[in-house]
Structure 1
Amino acid sequence: MKKIKILFFVALSFSFFGCSDWLQLELQNSISKETFWKSEADVEAAVNSTFIALRSQVKTMFWWGELRGDFLQVGENAGGDVKRILALQIVDDNGLSNWTGMYTVINLANSVLKNAPATREYDASFLEEDMNAYMAEAYFVRSLVYFYLVRTFHEVPLVLEPSENDDVDFFLGKSSEETILNQIIEDLVWAEQYAKRDFGSLSLNKGRGSQSAIQALLADVYLWAEKYDECLVMCDKIISRSAHALMTPDETKDFSEQAFYDDIFDEGGNSLEGVFEIQYSEVKSQPNPFFDFLIKEPEVLISDTGFEAFEDINDEERGMGVSFDEETLEITKMYLGGSSTNWIVYRYADILLMKAEALVQQGASLKAQKLLNKVRERAGLGGKIVPGDKATAEDMILSERALEFAFEGKRWFDLLRVAKRNNFERKQMLIDKLVENAPAADRDLWESKLSDPMSYFMPIYYKELRNNINLKQNPYYEH
């Protein structure tokens, strides 16, 4: 891993969160550590820098969570990296395996966690409870990034100190998935205690590391780690509050005349349904990237599998004309609100379906059925009977998630989570779904490649291996 020196860049302006008293960090004037970390305002600015850095990684988050699933196909403007991944020709020089930007976010979060406590020595008005709230946000961002990394690469270096001087070990080897997940859980359990519930405005509540955001991430991590009791506890904490709910259709209109997705994505976002949203604002010169690579010069389109999934059940509310264009197959969902559409990481429907999935693992299919049907009925679809057979019930929830969260950066991670459960007990499900999208002549080859579960994780980028002798390539890509 490359040596990265800490630089802070501060400019006082209106925040991307939409609050004038929130400091915005821009990559402009570097400030040394000797003049920084002297006040609460410095800590606040540093926390904000982690969110700005996180926002710069949204395209990577989309690719990592969506590209390898079964709902995308190559668009006419796809680059070589995208084409090779969709063709299952993945090697270590693929630029989409470059994690540098993600570790930049981690480094900024680490700086907050290390330096915030000492700042109180210089600022007597900086209360401990406020310091803990800022640190909770830093833990949240760091944990979110590590969760993306561990789902994408399986094992990665676990860096917990900022690279502020030459005493830091810049050449760490990989830590196991279990070690990283345990660290994430430990950090988030601490953060949940000290995080704020209310930041005083809608955009801040949705865009910062609130207690609800931390609980949503914890629920997701617990579900991935097969800790179902703990997942249910986190889901219930969010469900029991009035701060979040499903956006429902306007009953005064015919279903075909309006879309509840407009309430979730249009006008930028920050609806009652949102739990954590990475904020964008075109008027503040912070537009989202989706128009450029999904519509203007589309790199990917909806696949035949995705198109048919919506068409088969006549899902007009979430499908054609909403999530994608029927004629061009371009993905439109993430641009419903124009360039100010937020990137929604967690929303209330996700909490309901995560809880349903955890309940299925515990044999509580009737309880899971009620949650599944809440989401379906909101979309204008009839209810389903969730059977006691675990695999069939899993597939029902997986199919619903595919439609509800199409192109929200979740499909690949959803497939992988279900496939890997109980030591990859259901890997054939994942293989079958991916092979269905393969050219007929390549299906045997795809089946062979995907028979090794380690092929589901990306290779370590070749430059990282070259720069860090302690890094070892992921096993599948060693030969």
Structure 2
Amino acid sequence: MKITIKSILGAALISVLSYGCSESLLDKDPISSFSGQGFYKKASDAQAGVNGIYNSLQSTMRLNFAYWGEGRADNVTTRHSGDPFALQQNALTPIINSAKWDNFYTLISRANYAIKYTPTVFQTEDSPLRNQLLGQARGLRGLAYFYLTRIWGDVPLITEPYESVEQDIFVARTPSADVLKQVEEDLLFAAENCADNYTGDRDKVLFTKSAAQAFLTHLYMWQKRYDKAIETADKIITGNRHSLVSISDWNNIFTMGRSAESIFEVGYNETQTNALRVLYALGSDSDYVPSANFIASIEEGDLRKEKIYDVTQAQPRKIWKFFGEGFNDESADPSSNNIVLTRLSDIILLKAEAHANLNQNDDALTLLNQIRRRAGLEIMDASSANNLYGSLIGAILHERSIELSFEGHRWFDLVRTGLAIPTMKPINGLSDERNIVWPIFETTILRNPNLEQNEFYK
């Protein structure tokens, strides 16, 4: 995503919120500071404001997408200290780096400015650009709050920009159910107003109708609203905007980006980089390597196996998935690969799981076998699903574990299906439901007298 990052700092909220925007796709000159009213004067200003939200998403996901989505789950193991070790050992404390929510609230603050002031630079409410920009801003804000609630539970809900010292900067936490209502509203608005697609390098890295529908599907599965999840997933599957790639091109989803299968990616380049290599690629020194349980869980004949990790080693020390089969570069340089947050196979398997939860097994098996067939595996029926994985839902969750391995889904899948404790207790002793959420970072608690630490970490 060709965006030059030059942050614009403004007022703080909860001592971690700032507003601003990066240099836009239109190559706007950087600005040191502004008020919302003073900055938003023309359409290119509104575009720059929305680009600043994507800038924050880049910072937010560059490392932590794996810490939050994989680090506490069963598919990875680590020899590293710091967050990787703490998460794997279930030794979370209020001073680990992944307990910080700063970047999320910077993103939200930027989104709030864009949502308030974008309409002021357009003469009519039916301007396509106006509505697309508002859709992107609200979609990204909804995505941020969805992650926040899944990681920390109850969080401060802020939907207006901070513009006056008379506003309360010490915002208390809002019940997660109420935050998720706002998430749904934002994503529904995005699904209605975002573009179907974009051209060139912008495609897949800007929020589209399909991205909104994909994250709505995740939201509805989190809430166990299976009928709604099927409805939104079906819009993607039948919309002819995305298709499964062949198994020979499977690694290209991650190494090249913007594939036909991809729905939404966080865009990076040589300037805006991420930590994928540190996370997965540095051989004996990467943050994470495949666990023995994960390796043992892969079915014989699965064509994905040699594309996921270094099969030449008895104890694999590299995850090839994001860099290509046989990748052997030991450089610790930052990565410019995009991070794929959701893709068609993810949505197909969520829809299969929703059908299975509603005892619509034929529909579930049809979808499950689409993914298995591509992987070179035998077609599964209800009997083989029960024999191998205890249930059809178990078979679908296993398929998600392999197909979406290390992409940031596994921990959230375990939590939303009630499997976090049964899966992780034998590995690291996780036994208390209150321990499933992260602690709130210590400094955040100290600076805001209206914030209370999550119960388990008091």
TM-score, length of structure 2 as denominator length: 0.88
Residue in 2 aligned with 1:144? Answer: 143
Shift in alpha-carbon separation, 1:293–1:430, aligned structure 2, 3 A? closer
Residue in 2 aligned with 1:270? Answer: 258
Letter in 1 for 2:350: M
| Partner secondary structure for residue 207 of structure 1 | coil
Unaligned ranges ≥5, structure 1: 16-21, 250-258, 420-428, 439-445
Q: 1:437 aligns with which of 417, 424, 427?
A: 427
**Aligned mates of 1:149, 1:97 — CA distance in 2:** 11
Residue in 2 aligned with 1:313? Answer: 300
| Partner secondary structure for residue 57 of structure 1 | helix
| Partner secondary structure for residue 93 of structure 1 | coil
Q: Does 1:158 align with 2:168?
A: no
Residue in 2 aligned with 1:254? Answer: none
Shift in alpha-carbon separation, 1:401–1:138, aligned structure 2, 3 A? same
Shift in alpha-carbon separation, 1:153–1:55, aligned structure 2, 3 A? same
Task: Report how many aligned residue pairs link the two structures.
Answer: 430
Q: 2:76 aligns with which of 47, 72, 76?
A: 72
Letter in 2 for 1:470: N
**Aligned mates of 1:52, 1:293 — CA distance in 2:** 21
Shift in alpha-carbon separation, 1:96–1:242, aligned structure 2, 3 A? same
Kindly report which structure 2 residues correspond to 1:168-317, keeping only aligned pairs within 5 A, or say none: 168-201=167-200, 203-249=201-247, 259-266=248-255, 268-282=256-270, 285-296=271-282, 297-310=285-298, 312-315=299-302, 317=303
Residue in 1 aligned with 2:354? Answer: 358
Q: 2:94 aligns with which of 87, 92, 95?
A: 92
Q: Does 1:101 align with 2:108?
A: no
Contact 1:5 1:164 in 2 (8 A): no
**Cα deviation 1:359-383 (Å, max 9, x = unaligned):** 0111101110010000011111111
**Aligned mates of 2:399, 2:275 — CA distance in 1:** 27
Shift in alpha-carbon separation, 1:350–1:293, aligned structure 2, 3 A? closer
Shift in alpha-carbon separation, 1:9–1:369, aligned structure 2, 3 A? closer
Contact 2:286 2:317 in 1 (8 A): no
**Cα deviation 1:98-150 (Å, max 9, x = unaligned):** 11111111111111111112223xxx489633212111101111111111111
Letter in 2 for 1:372: L
- Per the TM alignment, residue 431 of structure 1 is displaced from its structure 2 partner at its CA by 2.7
**Aligned mates of 1:130, 1:4 — CA distance in 2:** 31
Shift in alpha-carbon separation, 1:8–1:146, aligned structure 2, 3 A? closer
Contact 1:10 1:25 in 2 (8 A): no
Contact 1:23 1:48 in 2 (8 A): no
Q: 1:452 aligns with which of 411, 425, 432?
A: 432
Contact 1:155 1:175 in 2 (8 A): yes
Contact 1:147 1:181 in 2 (8 A): yes
Letter in 1 for 2:291: S
TM-score, length of structure 1 as denominator length: 0.84
Residue in 2 aligned with 1:57? Answer: 60
Q: 2:370 aligns with which of 370, 374, 397?
A: 374
Contact 1:247 1:263 in 2 (8 A): no
**Aligned mates of 2:146, 2:19 — CA distance in 1:** 25
Structure 1 runs (4+) deviating above 6 angstroms are 388-391
Contact 1:10 1:29 in 2 (8 A): no
- Per the TM alignment, residue 395 of structure 1 is displaced from its structure 2 partner at its CA by 1.0
Shift in alpha-carbon separation, 1:61–1:263, aligned structure 2, 3 A? closer
| Partner secondary structure for residue 335 of structure 1 | coil
Letter in 2 for 1:265: F
- Per the TM alignment, residue 90 of structure 1 is displaced from its structure 2 partner at its CA by 1.5
**Aligned mates of 2:259, 2:29 — CA distance in 1:** 26
Letter in 2 for 1:349: S
Shift in alpha-carbon separation, 1:33–1:154, aligned structure 2, 3 A? closer
Shift in alpha-carbon separation, 1:303–1:394, aligned structure 2, 3 A? same
- Per the TM alignment, residue 341 of structure 1 is displaced from its structure 2 partner at its CA by 2.2
**Aligned mates of 1:301, 1:313 — CA distance in 2:** 20
Letter in 2 for 1:241: G
**Cα deviation 1:252-296 (Å, max 9, x = unaligned):** xxxxxxx33233123x211100011111223xx233321133223
Identity %: 29
